[in-house]
Amino acid sequence: MQTRKLGSELEVSALGLGCMGMSFAYGGQEEQASFDTFRRALDLGITFFDTAEIYGPFENEKLVGRALRSVRDKVVIATKFGFRFDDKGAITGTDSRPEHVREVAEASLKRLGIEVIDLLYQHRVDPDVPIEETVGAMADLVGEGKVRALGLSEAGASTIRRAHAVHPIAAVQSEYSLVTRDPESEVLPTCRELGIGFVPFSPLARGLLSGAIRSKDELPEGDARRNYPRFSDANIQSNLALVDRIAEIAKAKNCTAAQIALAWVLHQGDFIVPIPGARKLKNLEDNARAADIRLTPEEVASLSEAVPPSEVAGERYGAAALSMVNK
């Protein structure tokens, strides 16, 4: 698989692997199945793996550490911090105070069982702490050799600029796909200008763009997507009509809707590294093939036009989660 750069510090596979679903939000799976997925990802040339303290919480970092410790020199591991939890693991708010940054970085290093975090993201911008203070504390960790590169998640363009002025930001992570185009107006241009990598999570809209989920009722109890507006009974059929348009275009390329949707994301710029999640080996392998699909400018435009943002039904998050997205 070809590689791409995130900032000046990191070189990673053009497609990464989002590890969240292996132990959080979508029901999880047996540990051995996750190990098989990691091993196959490495075979396919995937070297970039994304986790976070919140996934579990804490359990996903431990899983990633157990799976990748033996191949540490071959992989790039990203993790994220920025929340406060109660005794039961429920989120009680954001926390990016400088003293907390150090605490969570030390804890993540221990859970991952590694000596340095390749990419440390602030998971959500803390409205109560100036970004300069948070990034300053993160930069101290770089100076101490505990972190290689810094990132932000769901940050707006102004925040990105302020952070980058304190210490180079290697990557910005936000949701981006054919049905979630918010970053196109300000965040993507800012990343291009400043030489920052962009890491789209949910590039398949949490499985919606695969077309495999035709009803909310197909999702198991406890699956977080049952609470997401785009999967609601009122919205999913309208959204699947858009997916069916994508599938028609995909036929001409002899690929699936999911594969061409991933290829579209990859064609938005060589500084973009999507991190689709995958628990099943077949889905992982199908996703990896998307990195080999070549689209003409006309095909890219055709896909963009087939899914106008105005026709997407429902918000990507509920109101509480949306309120944490920095503008």
Residue 280 sits at the vertex; the CA angle it makes with 275 and 285, to the nearest 5 degrees, is 65
Q: Which two tokens stand for residue 185?
A: 């107006």
Q: Which two tokens stand for residue 24?
A: 């959080």
Per-residue pLDDT, averaged over 119-132, amounts to: 98
d(CA 135, CA 122): 9
What pLDDT, on a 0 to 100 scale, did the predictor assign at position 28? 77
Residue of 83, 259, 99 lying closest to 154 (CA atoms): 83
Percent of the chain with pLDDT over 90: 97
d(CA 139, CA 159): 16
Mean pLDDT of the chain: 97
Which residue has better confidence, 238 or 221?
238
Per-residue pLDDT, averaged over 287-316, amounts to: 98
Q: Per-residue pLDDT for 180 more than 90?
A: yes
pLDDT tier for residue 27 given thresholds of 50, 70 and 90: confident
Catalytic residue IDs: 55
Contact (CB, 8 A) for 168 and 137: no
- What is the domain partition of the chain in residue ranges? 3-205+265-295
Letter for the amino acid at 132? E
CATH code matching the domain that covers 3-205+265-295, chosen among 3.40.190.10, 3.20.10.10, 3.20.20.100, 3.40.225.10: 3.20.20.100
Per-residue pLDDT, averaged over 66-93, amounts to: 96
Per-residue pLDDT, averaged over 38-48, amounts to: 98
Per-residue pLDDT, averaged over 133-158, amounts to: 98
CA distances, 246 to each of 161, 163, 202, 204 (Å): 35, 37, 17, 12
Task: Phi first, then psi: give them for residue 203, nearest 5 degrees.
Answer: -70, -10
Residue 152 sits at the vertex; the CA angle it makes with 86 and 118, to the nearest 5 degrees, is 90
Percent of the chain with pLDDT over 70: 100
Per-residue pLDDT, averaged over 220-243, amounts to: 95
